[in-house]
A and B are shown apart, each in its own frame.
Chain A
Amino acid sequence: MPTVKEILETMDYGPAPEASGEVTAWLAARGRFGHFINGAFTKPGETFAADNPATGEPLAEVTQGTEDDITAAVKAARKALPKWAGLSGHERAQWLYAIARHLQKRERFLSVLETLDNGKPIRESRDVDVPLAIRHFYHHAGWAELIEDEFPGHAPHGVCGQIIPWNFPLLMLAWKVAPALAAGNTVVLKPAEYTPLTALAFAEICAEVGLPKGVVNIVTGDGRTGAALVAAEVDKIAFTGSTEVGRLIRRATAGSGKALTLELGGKSPFIVFADADLDAAVEGVVDAIWFNQGQVCCAGSRILAAESVAEDFTRRLTARLAKLRVGEPLDKCTDMGAIVHPVQLARIHDLISAGEAAGARLIQAECQLPPKGSFYAPGILLDAHPANPAMVEEIFGPVATLSTFRTPDEAVELANNTRYGLSASIWSENLTLAMDIATKVKAGVVWINATNVFDAAAGFGGMRESGFGREGGREGMAAYLRRPGPKAQPEAAAGRLDAAPQTGSPAAPGIDRTAKLYIGGKQSRPDSGYSYAVTYKGREIGLAPLGNRKDIRNAVEAAHKASGWGKVTGHNRAQVLYYIAENLAARQAEFEARLHDTGHSPKEVAATIRRAFYYAAWADKFDGAVKSTKTRNVTVAMNEPWGVIGIACPDAAPLLGFASLVLPAIAMGNRVVAIPAASMPFAATDLYQVFDTSDLPGGVVNIVTGPRDELAKTLAQHDDVAAMWYCGGSEGAAMVEAESAANLKATWTLPNRDWSAAQGREFLDRASQIKTIWVPYGE
C-alpha cells in the first residue's frame, strides 16, 4: 500500500473491499446444494456451477432440477396449501414478519452473497436490493393482516409457480414470494441458473424461521426446469424475464386455466426536456442505465434529449461517464461491477456491434477493466436512428442510445415507437409538461425527475410487450388472489353460419330490415359480400353480414381513430351512457319483442338499461390511488384504458351479454371491436341506432358480426389490439390465449354465466391498467 505521503500527491481512493469471509465460509461449508422441497434440502443431483462473474470462478454447485424434482416440489406445495391458506391473515402476517426480521438480521450476509453471485456492486446490493426485499416482506406482512378486510371473499390461487431472473435475484424473489404467501398461496420458485445462491440462502432462512414445510419450495435449474414448472400442475405462473420466454410461457399456458402474470423486457425512454435540470438528468442516466450494469428491465435505455440542449447534455453526460469506476464488485468504491455471465457479455458485444454497424457511434468510458471476469465499459450510443438494432432491441447492458427530438409531441412519438411499455423517465422542471407526457407515454411506471425508484407499496409492471399484471401494492396483491367467481353455464351452440339462401323458412312480411356491420359510427357492408340467415326454430329472422378479417382490420382502425374517447372526462362518458339508457328505454318494447321472438328473455332489455346506468355511475368514480411510498413523493396509481379491446360476446343473452362486456369497457375510455352472438346478432346491431342517437362518437363501439372464433382469432392476432376478452368455449379460449402471445396482449377468457348479475369492479379492473407515476417534490 502506498504511504500517506504518496497518496497525498495522487489523492486516489484506493481499495475499500467489503469482507466476504462469512459468506465464503458458508459456501465452502455447503459446497453442493440440493433443492429446498418440503422444508428440507434434497440430496444434490446432477449439478452445475454457480460462478462469480467477476472472476469466473465457481462459488458453489447447484442441482439441475428435473421434472421429478418439480413434481415433488409441487406436491409438497399442494400438500401444504390447505393449512397455509386456512390460517388467519394475522397468523400469516406473523410468518411474513418473521421472514422480514430474519432477512434484516442477515442483511450484510445476503448483500455480500448477492454481489458474489451476480457481480453487482456491493453498494447496490447493500443499499438497494436487500433493503427493498426486506421492505417487501414487511409490506406484505401488512397485507396478510388486512386481507379479510381488504379482499373479502377472495381466495388464493393455490400453488404458484414462480420463475425469476438473474438481475435482482433476492429482490425478485421477494416480489414473488411475499405477496403469494400473504395471499395464502404456497410456492415453487425457480431462481435463475446464473444466480441461485441468495434463493438458497433464503430457503435456509425459511427453515430458520420454522416456516411450515412445503409453503416455500425452491428448485434450481435452467430453462428446462422452468419449462417443467410451467407445465406442472400449478394454479398460477408468475414470471419475470425476457419477452421471448414470456411469449413461450403464454403459449404453453394457453387454455390451461392457470393464472398468469408476466413482467418482461423493456426499452424505456428517458426524456430530457430543455427546461430540465441537466445535471440532475445526467445523474438520472447514471441511475438508469449504469445501474446494475444496465441489466435492468426498466432501465432508461433510450435517451431522448431536446435538440436545443442535446449538445450540452451530451457533453455533461460524457464527462460524467469518465468518472465511473468499473471493477471489483465487492469494492465499496465501485460504480459498476461485472456482467452476470459471459453469455450475457457476448450478447451485449453483439448488439453494440450491430448498432455500430447500423451507423451508431459508441462513446465508452476509458476505464481499465479487470483482466479477468465479465466486464463491459459503460457507454452511450450516439446517432442511432429508430430502426437501429440498438434502438429496438433490449441490450440489457450498460449502454443507452442518445437521440434527439424537436417538440413534446415528437418526444412522445419517439418514446412510444417501441413494442415495449415498461417504464419512462421524464425530466423537466415544468410539471404541467411533465404530467402531460406522463399520461401520454405507454408505460406502466413513469418517473418524473427521477428514475428506478421502487417501493413495495407501488405497483410495478408493464404495458404492451413488457407484460401484464402488477407487482407491489394493492394491485400486486390482487394478482395473487382469485375473486369469488360466478358459476359457469353451458354456452348455447351458434350453429353453422350458412351464406346460402334459406328457402324453407321465409322471412316475416313487412319491410325488410337488413343488419349491417357497424364500423367507425357507420353502417357498412361486409367485405366478403356474404350474409348469413339468422334463424329461430327453422324460421328466418333476418340476414346478418358475414364479417371477415378485413372487416376486423377496418374496425380496429376505426377504433384507433376514436382515441379522443379515452381523453374526455368520466362525466362526459357517463352522459353518453345515460343517454344510451334513455334511448334504449324509449325503444324498450321493440327490443323486448325482438328478443322474445327469438327465444330470449325480454328481461335482458331492462337489465341492459340498468347496466348502462351502472357504468355511467362508475365512469367518474373508478378512482386511482396515491400510494404511501417515499417521503416527499406523490406516487399516483392511475387507471388508464387499454386503448382498443377486442370482445367476443356470448351466444346466450345476446343483448345483455354484449352490454355487460362492452359498457364497462367504454365507460373506462376504451374503444371496442365486438363480435356479437352469432345466433342472434340483431340484439347488438339493433343497438347501433341507439348509439347513433346517443352521441356515442363513431368508432368507440364497432360491431362485426359473423363466426365468433374466426373473427376472435383475427383480433387476438392483431398487433394493434391491446386486450382481448373472450366469452365462449374452452377451445376458443385456448386459441385466444395462444394467439395473443404475439403481442402479449392481456386476455380475459370468461365462461358463459348468468348475465343478470354480471357487473362490478372486476369488469372495471379488467377494462383498465394501472400506470404508476412517481412525482418527487421538494424545494
Chain B
Amino acid sequence: MKTRKMKRITIYGLYAALACLTFSSCSKFLEVEPKEVLVKEQMYRNIYDADAAVIGIYGKLLSLAEQHILWNELRADLLTVTNRANPYLKEINTNDVGAISVDNPYANPRKFYEVILNCNDVLTNFQVMRAENKFTPEEYNQRYSDIMAVRSWVYLQLGIHFGRVPYITDPLEDTDAVLDKDKYPLLEFEQLLTKLIADMEAVPYKLLYSDTESLMFNVDGYTMERFYINKQALLGDLHLWNNDYQKAAEYYKLVMTSYDNLGNDGYRYDRYKIKWAEISTNNDIAVGYLRYREQDVRTLINSKTQGWRSMFSRSQDELWNTEWVWTLPFNSNFNPQNPFIRLFAANGGDHLLKPSQESLDLWGNQTQRNGVPYDARRDLSVSMIGQEGVVTKYTDEFSDIETMLPIDKFQRGGKWHLYRAAKLHLRFAEAANRDGHHKLAVGLLNNGVGRIYDDPNQSDKTDVQQTHLPFPYDFDARNGNNPRYRATWHRNDGLRGRAYLTFREINPTDSLTQVEDYLIEEAALEMAFEGSRWEDLVRIAIRRNDPSFLADKIYEKLSKEGHPQADAVRSKLMNRENWYLPFNWEQ
C-alpha cells in the first residue's frame, strides 16, 4: 500500500513540475529581442534604415539575373544549349510552353513575386515613415520612386513572359498567396502596361539619385550611380511597348542628354552619344584595328582595356561611364553568386549555353569597312572551342581572353548587363522611325546624325549636320571649322559606325518596316546575350500583329541545329497564347 501511494505522489509531483514549466514559459521576462536579427518594428526608423531597405531590394533583385537572361535570350534565337545542359534548360530553349515541366525551376516566377512583395513592403513602410516625418520629402521622393521603378521593371518582365499576371501592390507575408486567383485576378498584358505607366508617371522623382544622397556613396569599390535603375529609360521602354512613340522618344532623349550640363565637355560629347572611334590610340569602346593596318585581321583590338570588347570588363572609368546606363555587380564575397560563369564559361563553369548557329550567321552576314566578311563583334562576344562557341560577354572579368582559363577561380565576380547606350539609341531610333523620322533613325543606326544630315560640299556647317526638329528629335551634330562648331552630337558615330561595319542601304518606299527590321537586327548584333532579344521580338510581333516575326526567328534557331520540333514550335508560336510561360508554381 505504502509503495503504491508513494508512486501516486511521485506521479502527481511530476505533473505539477511539468505544469510549472509550461506556465513559466509564458512569462514575459524571458522574451528577449534577438540582437542579430531585425524585427519588423526596428526596420524603418531613419534614413539609414531606408537606405538599407533600398540596397536590400537590389540585393534581392540580383537573384533574378539568371532567369532574366534565360527568359530573354535562351527562349529567343541567339542563344542555345550545349549537350551538357539539363532537361529543364532544354525545355526553355525549345520554347514549347505547353511541354514545360511543372517543376521546371527556370520557368517559375516565384522569385519575381518575392521581389515585388518586398518592394510593396518597402513602399508601404516608406509612406509610413514619411507620415511620421522620419525622413524629408526629398529623401522620401527619391527612394520611393526608385523602388517603384524596380517593381515596375519586374512586372514588365513578368508581363512579357507570362502574358497575364496578378498585379499586387500589397505587402503579403506569404508569397504563395499570389496564386489566389479569386483575390488577385490575372491582368492582361495591355492592362498591366497601363497600370505600370500610370505608376511610373506618378512617381515624384524621375532622375538619378542626387549626388548628395547617402545612396550615391561608393560601396565596396563600386560607384553607385549606375547601380540603380534608370527611371526615364524604363519609362521610355514602357511607352514604347505601349506604342506611344513620341513619349518614348522623349524619355529616351532625356537619358541620352542627361549628363550634358553636369560636367566638362567629355560629359556632353561622349556620355550616351555612341562616340566615334579613337583610331590613332584605340582608347575607345569601338571596333577597331591598329591604325594603317586595318587590312590585317590580326590587328583587331581584342582586349579588356581597349576597344568594343573592353566595355564588358573594364573598370568603371570615364569610358565605361559613356556607355553603361544600368548594371548590377556580382561579387564573390556576397550572395547571390554570379550565375553566369556556370552557364557560360567553358573553364571554371559548366558551359551549359552557347551561341546559336543563327547568331553566328547573323554576324557572318555583315561586312566590315575593311572588307572583312563578318562582324568583328562576333569575335569580341564569342570564343570558339573546337566547333562550339563560348559566350564571353559575362566571363571577361573571370577568364583570360587567349587561354579562356580562369584568372583566379575563386574570384567569380562579374556584372548583370542591364542597360547601355546602344540599347538607348536603338530604342530611340525605333520610336523615331515609327514617329515618321526615318532619316534620324537611319543616322543613329548607320553613320551618325551629323553625317546623314551633312552636305559634304558645304564647308560652312551652320545649316547642315542637324535635324532642325523640335524636342525630342532635335539633334545638333555640327562639326565645322569655318565657322567653328563643336555641337553636342558631333562625335556621334552611329551603331554601325562604331562597329566598323558597312552601312545599311535603305529602300525609301518601304523604309518604315525595313528600318525597324534593321534596328532589331542591329540589337541582336550589338547586344546578343544581354537579355533583350525576346523582348524585342515580342514587342515588334505585337506591334505589327504578326506572330511570324517571332515564330520564324525561333524556327531558324531550332532548324539550324536540326531540332526535331522546329516546325511544330514554329506553328505553335504563330498563336500568341503560346508565347507565354505557364503562370504557376508548386506551393
Say whether A and B bind each other: no
B residues apposed to A, CB below 8 Å: none
